């Protein structure tokens, strides 16, 4: 690992204080590089350094691997294959959610909240789903949370819209929404970001139209996911998700 920035191969995000692109390091190993280009943006620099720190602390099969770093860049393994096109078979959804929940349980136990769980942030290493992008991850009470609305409006938990402290429960709301999206093909909210924020602040609730056959065949899985969309204090923890997905039932 050194300070020589890998050359640009394919631009993934070419605007903003942090650029993202594909490149190669070493003997041609493909990587995804995040590079800070606006060093006067102190918020971006702090988020970048926080992501670098988290990456060193969070080795897990369902989390991205750090392969290189320099003064103003970090390089992760290049992952392929997005989520399967919904609707997805319930057993596949349950297995996928279980692996992601295990990753969330791992980071939550270390005081880290991802804060941006969504379909675009799930890629694959072979058959293993990997939760990527810790660019806005933080810890409960992190002062960076107060500087900006952190998350993707359609996928963030309700408490993320208030600007208060965001805990592990927020990740479970997003994970539950992800599960219902995979089962039904419906997003929790549709429309551009500003419109979604306005509708949600006005009190609009997410609604998934679940087919009758799915209601009949998978009542326990659906109950778990709907509980995940409920009040923060009543949501199952990530570890609970792993356990309950294994048995596919909720306690009465």
Span 192-219, pLDDT tens digits: 999 999 999 999 998 899 999 999 999 9
Tell me if 105 sits within 8 A of 242, measured CB to CB: yes
pLDDT of residue 110: 93
Span 7-60, pLDDT tens digits: 888 999 998 899 999 998 877 889 999 999 987 888 888 889 889 988 888 899
Catalytic residues: 116
Measure the CA–CA gap between 231 and 5, rounded to whole angstroms.
Answer: 45
Other Cβ atoms closer than 10 A to 36: 18
Q: Is the bond into 219 cis (omega within 30 degrees of 0)?
A: no
Phi, psi of 206 (to 5 degrees): -70, 145
Residue 47 burial by Cβ neighbours in a 10 Å radius (0-12, 13-18, 19+): buried
Fold of 10-77: Phosphorylase Kinase; domain 1 (3.30.200)
Is residue 161 predicted with pLDDT exceeding 50?
A: yes
What is the DSSP code (8-state) at residue 204? P
What is the pLDDT confidence band of residue 179, given thresholds at 50, 70 and 90? very high
Fold of 90-247: Transferase(Phosphotransferase); domain 1 (1.10.510)
Domain locations along the chain: 10-77, 90-247
């Amino acid at each position: 690992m050194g300070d020589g920035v890998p050359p640009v191969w394919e631009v993934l995000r070419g605007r903003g204080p942090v650029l993202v692109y594909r490149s190669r390091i070493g003997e041609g190993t493909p990587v995804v590089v995040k590079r800070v280009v606006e060093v006067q943006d102190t918020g971006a620099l702090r988020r970048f350094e926080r992501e670098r720190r988290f990456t060193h602390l969070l080795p897990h099969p369902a989390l991205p691997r750090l392969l290189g770093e320099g003064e103003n860049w970090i390089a992760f393994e290049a992952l392929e294959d997005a989520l399967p096109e919904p609707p997805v078979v319930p057993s596949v959804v349950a297995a996928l959610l279980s692996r992601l929940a295990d990753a969330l349980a791992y980071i939550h136990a270390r005081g880290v909240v991802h804060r941006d769980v969504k379909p675009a942030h799930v890629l694959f290493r072979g058959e293993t789903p990997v939760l990527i992008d810790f660019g806005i991850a933080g810890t409960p009470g992190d002062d960076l949370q107060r500087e900006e609305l952190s998350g993707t409006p359609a996928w963030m938990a309700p408490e993320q819209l208030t600007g208060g402290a965001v805990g592990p429960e927020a990740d479970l709301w997003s994970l539950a929404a992800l599960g219902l999206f995979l089962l039904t093909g419906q997003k929790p909210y549709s429309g551009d970001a500003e419109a979604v924020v306005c509708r949600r602040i006005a009190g609009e609730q997410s609604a998934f139209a679940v087919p009758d056959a799915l209601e009949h065949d998978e009542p326990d899985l659906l109950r778990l996911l709907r509980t995940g969309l409920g009040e923060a204090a009543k949501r199952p923890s990530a570890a609970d998700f792993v356990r309950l997905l294994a048995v596919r039932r909720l306690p009465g």
